[in-house]
Amino acid sequence: MSRLRALAGACALGLALSGCAPTPPSGPVASPTPGIPSPTTVAPAPSPTASPAPPGWTVETWSNNDPALPVHLQWPVVPGATALNAMLAEDMDARARAFLADSVPNPEVPPELSGTWETVLDAPAWAGVRVDLYEFAGASGRASTSVLYGEKLSGTALRSVDLLAPTARRTAVDAVVAALRADGHEVLDDLADAPDLETRLFDDVVVGPRGELVVRVGEGLVLPFSEGVVDVTLAPSVAEGVLSEQGRDLRDAVVGLVGPASPTPTPAAPVSQRPAASVDCAVVACVALTFDDGPGKETGRLLDDLAAAGAPATFFVLGTSVRAHPDLVRRMAAEGHEVGTHTWSHKQLTKLGEEGQRREVQRGVRAVEEAGVTPTVFRPPYGSYNATTRKVVGAPMILWDVDTLDWRTRSTDATVASAVGDARAGSIVLMHDIHAPTVDAVPRVVAGLRERGFTLVTVSQLLGPQEPGSVSSRRP
């Protein structure tokens, strides 16, 4: 979305502004004269989209998998947009490290930082990414968004605030505040007058196809928290008065583009899944290898290694990763691996109410189904669940009894030693295919387990039929 606006006063605002939000508003300001457009549009911010990533975009992940202080962040890598990619990576790394430095691990009520993203622009010359963060400090949670832009050829990267000329930012603040008041919102004067609002109010700005700007007004910036997140759309004529030179360059590249920023999800044709081999784990010593948090840039190599070894595995995939790599999910199924879900964005489910848990679980399931695969099992992030989780999940829940701690050690040798040395007949081994050292370890893990006499199977082969909401960490 976009945000900004310039105007000297509320009266001028009424004459100069006209705009529309990307989603239908619930109640636009009425025009004083029939046939004259409303001066501005204010609407609740829409829910994040689940659109697939544009072709060629991949995903990076920052994750510590620590249940007492969990951090899980994802962001895209955009072909050609080197400066944008560097800015995203640096921002996410800095946020994660600052959160870990400022937080105290608490197994009972863990602080948490999670983040995902969505595409707001994929034009021939420019890309735009919205980063959606959620931080829980131990008492309450807070969500925030920001939009970053990158030029694909020159290497330029911009934050949303860079779209506005520094000398015009206070004018833009006044315009947004006037629009909110005109729409009947309770603007808090002490917040609206804060000098740093000229920067903080413009973390999330999207340029529309007519050159309009939509400013996403975050929780508690100028409105009471109870009013949530609001989008203010500002007309092209207003944008012209407050855009910086870089902002005009981006605007000129966007104007005239038609359609959504990213493709509308279209379910893929169902994958013909290769049937699993017949194995009786009541008789044979079986072990199930499982991989969380993918698919990612290492997953294709992992699938190559598993295919070469003739070894099946179970993948617990994230919806946010599936949208960037649906082909890898289809390949998993086609090559005889089991596909389970791991929620949409890796939030700790026990901090969410019933509706929040259901949304996280079902969005993850839909992402896999849209890739053409039917998921069969579920693993809660961090292994954390409660009675509500069991109620809403709709599939058997699979934990583990061998944690390789690959997320902590990032060591190939340590992962091999744990996976091979700690496994027993009936074990479920936890690894993560987003880490290169883990993928490096897999050929040795497979060989080592087989040398110990184990047969490798999927989770469902190991456990047999399980009821939805049941919880298993190994074969009894």
Measuring CA to CA, how many Å separate 399 from each of 427, 431, 438, 471? 10, 12, 19, 7
Query: What is the structure's pLDDT at 261?
Result: 45
Catalytically active residues, by annotation: 292, 432
d(CA 433, CA 404): 12
pLDDT of residue 264: 54
Write out residues in the chain with pLDDT < 70, as ranges: 1-40, 47-51, 139, 258-266
Q: How far apart are alpha carbons 144 and 130 in whole angstroms?
A: 10
- The predicted structure's pLDDT at residue 328: 97
3-state SS string over the chain? CCCCCCCCCHHHHHHHCCCCCCCCCCCCCCCCCCCCCCCCEEEECCCCCCCCCCCCCEEEEEECCCCCCCEEEEEEECCCCHHHHHHHHHHHHHHHHHHHHHCCCCCCCCCEEEEEEEEEEECCCEEEEEEEEEEECCCCEEEEEEEEEEECCCCCEEEHHHHECHHHHHHHHHHHHHHHHHCCCCCCHHHHCCCCHHHHCCCCEEECCCCCEEEEECCCCCCCHHHCCEEEEECHHHHHHHECHHHHHHHHHHCCCCCCCCCCCCCCCCCCCCCCCCCCCCCCCEEEEEEECCCCCCHHHHHHHHHHHCCCCEEEECHHHHCCCHHHHHHHHHCCCEEEECCCCCCCHHHCCHHHHHHHHHHHHHHHHHCCCCCCCECCHHHCCCHHHHHHCCCCEECCCEECCHHHHCCHHHHHHHHHHCCCCCEEEEEECCCHHHHHHHHHHHHHHHHCCCEEECHHHHHCCCCCCCEECECC
Q: For the chain, how far is it from start to end, CA to CA, in angstroms?
A: 52
Residue 159 in tokens? 């934050």
Q: Look at the pTM and tell me if it is higher than 0.85.
A: no
> Rounded distance, CA 404 to CA 440, Å?
14
Q: Which domains does the chain have, with CATH numbers?
A: 1-262 (3.30.565.40), 286-472 (3.20.20.370)
Q: What is the pLDDT of residue 49?
A: 64
